[in-house]
Amino acid sequence: MTEYDGKLLRVDLNSGKTERLMIEEEILRKFIGGTGLGAKFLYDEVPPGVEWSDPENRLIFMAGPLNATSIGGSGSVSVVSKGPLTNGAGCSQANGYFGAFLRLCGLNGIVFKGKAENLKYLYVDSEGEELRNADWLTDTDTYKTADIVKHEHGCREHEMAVASIGPAGENLVRFAGIFVDYGHSASHNGLGAVMGSKKLKAVGVRRGKLQVPVQDANRVLEVSRKLIDNVKKTSATYEYGTLLGIVNNIKTNMLPVKNYTTSTWAVDEGKLAKFSAQYIRENFSVRRNSCWACQIHHCDMMRITEGPYAGEVVEEPEYEQFSAWAPAIGQNDVTAAMMLSKEVDRLGIDTNESGWVVGFAIECFEKGILSKEKANGLDLSWGNAESTRLLLNLIAKRQGIGNVLAEGVMRASKMIGGDATTMAIHTMKGNTPRGHDHRNRWTELFDTSVSNTGTLETWGGPIALGSAPKWEDLVAANLNDKGAMMFEDSLVTCRFNTSMNVELLCQALSGVTGWEFTWEEGMRVGRRIVNLLRSFNIRHGIRGRDSDRPSLRYGSVPDSGPAKGRSLHDVWDKMLDTYYSGMGWDNSGFPTPETLKKYGLDYVVKDLYP
Q: What is the pLDDT of residues 306-362, one digit of tens each?
A: 999 999 999 999 999 999 999 999 999 999 999 999 999 999 999 999 999 999 999
Inform me whether the pLDDT recorded for 2 exceeds 90: no
Furthest C-alpha separation in the chain? 67
End-to-end CA distance of the chain: 37
Instruction: Look at 459 and 7; give whichever has higher pLDDT.
Output: 7
Q: With beta carbons less than 8 A apart as the criterion, state whether 293 and 103 touch.
A: no
Element (H, E) at 41: helix 34-45
Contacts for 527 with CB less than 8 Å, ≥ 6 apart: 482, 483, 486, 599
- 3-class DSSP assignment, residue 286: strand
Instruction: Work out the pLDDT band at 58, boundaries 50, 70, 90.
Output: very high
Q: Give the pLDDT of residue 388.
A: 98
Domain boundaries, the chain: 6-206, 235-422, 441-482+518-608
**What's the rounded Cα separation, in Å, for the pair 348 and 352?**
12
**What strands lie across the sheet with 89-94, from one edge to the other?**
17-23, 6-12, 109-113, 59-62, 77-82, 89-94
Nearest 10 degrees: CA dihedral of 496, 497, 499, 505?
A: -150
Inform me whether the pLDDT recorded for 194 exceeds 70: yes
How far is residue 132 from each of residues 61, 79, 119, 206, 315, measured CA to CA in Å?
A: 18, 21, 9, 15, 29
Spell out the alpha helix ranges (H) of 165-216: 167-170, 191-197
Report percent pLDDT > 90 for the chain.
Answer: 95
Nearest 10 degrees: CA dihedral of 343, 345, 347, 352?
A: 90
Whether residue 492 has a cis bond before it, omega within 30° of 0: yes
**What strands lie across the sheet with 178-180, from one edge to the other?**
128-133, 120-125, 200-206, 160-164, 178-180, 184-186
**What's the rounded Cα separation, in Å, for the pair 466 and 254?**
7
Instruction: Work out the pLDDT band at 461, boundaries 50, 70, 90.
Output: low
Q: With beta carbons less than 8 A apart as the criterion, state whether 550 and 556 touch.
A: no
* Average pLDDT score, the chain: 96
**What's the rounded Cα separation, in Å, for the pair 192 and 206?**
21
Which candidate, 57, 42, 83, places its Cα nearest to that of 177?
A: 83
Q: Give the pLDDT of residue 459.
A: 78
Q: Give the pLDDT of residue 467.
A: 62
Fold of 6-206: Aldehyde Ferredoxin Oxidoreductase;  A, domain 1 (3.60.9)
Mean pLDDT of 92-105: 97
Which candidate, 389, 348, 354, 356, places its Cα nearest to that of 184?
A: 348
Other C-beta atoms closer than 10 Å to the C-beta of 233 total 8
Residues in a beta bridge with 94: 77
Fold of 235-422: 1.10.569
- 3-class DSSP assignment, residue 111: strand
**Single-letter residue type at 43:** Y
Inform me whether the pLDDT recorded for 460 exceeds 90: no
Q: Give the pLDDT of residue 313.
A: 96
Mean pLDDT of 538-551: 96
Q: With beta carbons less than 8 A apart as the criterion, state whether 116 and 70 touch.
A: no
Inform me whether the pLDDT recorded for 464 exceeds 90: no
**What's the rounded Cα separation, in Å, for the pair 280 and 388?**
22
Per mean pLDDT, which range of 167-176, 492-501, 503-512 is the poorest? 492-501
Instruction: Work out the pLDDT band at 235, boundaries 50, 70, 90.
Output: confident
CATH 1.10.599.10 matches 441-482+518-608? yes
Contacts for 151 with CB less than 8 Å, ≥ 6 apart: none
**What's the rounded Cα separation, in Å, for the pair 379 and 572?**
39
Q: Give the pLDDT of residue 158.
A: 92
Inform me whether the pLDDT recorded for 556 exceeds 70: yes
Contacts for 35 with CB less than 8 Å, ≥ 6 apart: 62, 78, 80, 91, 93, 453, 486, 489, 490, 492, 529
* 325-336 residue pLDDT tens: 999 999 999 999
Interior CA angle at 534 toward 532 and 538, to 5°?
Answer: 115
* 269-288 residue pLDDT tens: 999 999 999 999 999 999 99
Q: Give the pLDDT of residue 488.
A: 97
* 73-90 residue pLDDT tens: 999 999 999 999 999 999
